[in-house]
């Protein structure tokens, strides 16, 4: 009885099927995969043996026979994974249903390293590549006429024929502005990242358009600086000097917002009672570590990754959707920094 149980528990291999059907392993493989020419009675004998033994083909092995590897590459310049990891998780959500694995390559912002990784991924016969990063800025494509489809996520290719999926920075700025107006704030300042970044300009534009439609202007100048807490501290000092009556600050990142919160606290301004505060990114270690916890704009990075993977799967299946840019709507995560009084 023990021997029978052990035999039943053992994984049935194609060798077992071949032996039971009285054919070679090669013939059994061809019969099970519907390949090759053979007598119909031989094919039926192999299939009957497979059913009798409970043989389950290995999906990977079948894929390799069909020229598939069930792998895709993810190329990123985001060494810290702040943006690329949520994108990758979203991609894996979509790819998991197809049992496709992801090879992640960090280029460290080095074009030579990027070319090397692309060559290595192609040598590994990946079926597609997702390119992502820490900025939504336009960037050159990774190559023309590649043998596999490529999708850009959280970054945008300069080639309009490529598929690029990016967050709605302008819409996120508008969300923040509408929320602050809804809480009764009218003197809204803006401290954000470097003006050379399209993302910073779009977020400022989203805020400005909503304020203009309400007959308002930003409190003080729009303050462009760095994506850092230190700049948030400095920017808050400048803003308080320019607009002492400021009652809300929209920040271009959660890091900046955390610096702004520190300076407001040091200057005796209570958040949110005196000054409401909104960040951007929904980077939870920053947003939840802020005092008080930070209301912030979420770029929906996981959804960006999921959509990128869906586009890639469609292209791999021979159904490319064409090029162009898809903008994914942002969301607002409400926390205590904008709580009504």
Q: What is the mean pLDDT of the chain?
A: 89
Could you give the C-alpha distances from 134 to 16, 108, 109, 205, in angstroms and in order? 51, 11, 10, 21
Could you give the C-alpha distances from 235 to 2, 122, 287, in angstroms and in order? 75, 46, 18
Beta strand ranges found along 238-309 (DSSP E): 248-251, 276-280, 295-298
Q: What is the pLDDT of residue 33?
A: 67
Chain mean position to CA 96: 15
Q: What is the pLDDT of residue 279?
A: 98
Q: What is the pLDDT of residue 66?
A: 54
Which among 219, 212, 222, 220 is positioned nearest to 174, based on CA atoms? 212
- All domains of the chain in start order, with CATH: 2-57 (1.10.260.40), 71-167+301-329 (3.40.50.2300), 169-298 (3.40.50.2300)
Q: What is the pTM of this model?
A: 0.79
Check if the beta carbon of residue 338 is closer than 8 Å to that of residue 183.
yes
SS3 73: strand
Cβ-based burial of 133 (10 A; exposed 0-12, middle 13-18, buried ≥19): buried
Q: What is the pLDDT of residue 57?
A: 66
Instruction: Give per-residue pLDDT as tens, 87-118.
Output: 988 998 888 755 688 889 999 889 999 999 99
Can you tell me the distance from the alpha carbon of 172 to that of 28, in angstroms, rounded to the nearest whole number?
58
List the chain pLDDT tens, one digit each, 341 residues. Answer: 444 444 444 577 778 888 999 988 778 877 876 666 778 888 889 889 988 988 876 554 555 445 677 889 999 988 777 888 899 889 988 887 556 888 899 998 899 999 999 999 999 999 999 999 888 889 999 988 899 999 999 999 999 999 999 999 999 999 999 999 999 999 999 999 999 999 999 999 999 999 999 999 999 999 999 999 999 999 999 999 999 999 999 999 999 999 999 999 999 999 999 999 999 999 999 999 999 999 999 999 999 999 999 999 888 878 877 889 999 999 999 999 999 75
């Amino acid at each position: 009885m023990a021997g029978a149980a052990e035999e039943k528990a053992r994984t049935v291999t194609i060798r077992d099927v071949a032996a039971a059907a009285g054919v070679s392993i090669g013939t059994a493989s061809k019969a099970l995969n519907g390949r090759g020419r053979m007598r119909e009675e031989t094919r039926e004998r192999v299939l009957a043996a497979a059913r009798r033994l409970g043989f389950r083909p290995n999906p990977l092995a079948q894929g390799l026979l069909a020229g598939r590897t069930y792998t895709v590459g993810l190329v990123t310049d985001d060494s810290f994974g702040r943006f690329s990891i949520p994108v990758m998780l979203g991609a894996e959500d979509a790819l998991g249903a197809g049992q496709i694995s992801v090879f992640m390559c960090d280029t460290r912002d080095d074009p030579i390293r990027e070319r090397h990784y692309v060559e290595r991924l192609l040598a590994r016969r990946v079926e597609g590549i997702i390119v992502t990063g820490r900025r939504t800025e336009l960037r050159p494509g990774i190559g023309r006429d590649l043998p596999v489809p490529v999708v850009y996520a959280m970054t945008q290719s300069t080639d309009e024929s490529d598929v690029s999926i990016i967050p709605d920075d302008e819409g996120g700025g508008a969300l923040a502005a509408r929320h602050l107006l809804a809480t009764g704030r009218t003197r809204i300042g803006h401290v954000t990242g470097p003006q050379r970044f399209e993302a910073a300009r779009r977020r400022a534009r989203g805020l400005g358009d909503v304020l203009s439609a309400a007959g308002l202007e930003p409190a003080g100048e729009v303050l462009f600086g760095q994506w850092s807490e230190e700049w948030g501290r400095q920017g808050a000092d400048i803003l308080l000097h320019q607009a002492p009556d400021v009652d809300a600050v929209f920040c271009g990142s959660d890091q900046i917002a955390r610096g702004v919160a520190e300076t407001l606290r040091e200057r005796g301004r209570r958040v949110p009672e005196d000054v409401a505060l909104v960040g951007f990114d929904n980077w939870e270690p920053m947003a939840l570590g802020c005092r008080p916890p930070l209301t912030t704009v979420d770029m929906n990075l996981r959804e960006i990754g999921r959509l990128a993977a869906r586009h890639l799967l469609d292209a791999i299946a021979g159904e490319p959707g064409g090029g162009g840019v898809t903008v994914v709507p942002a969301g607002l995560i409400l926390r205590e920094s904008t709580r009504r009084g």
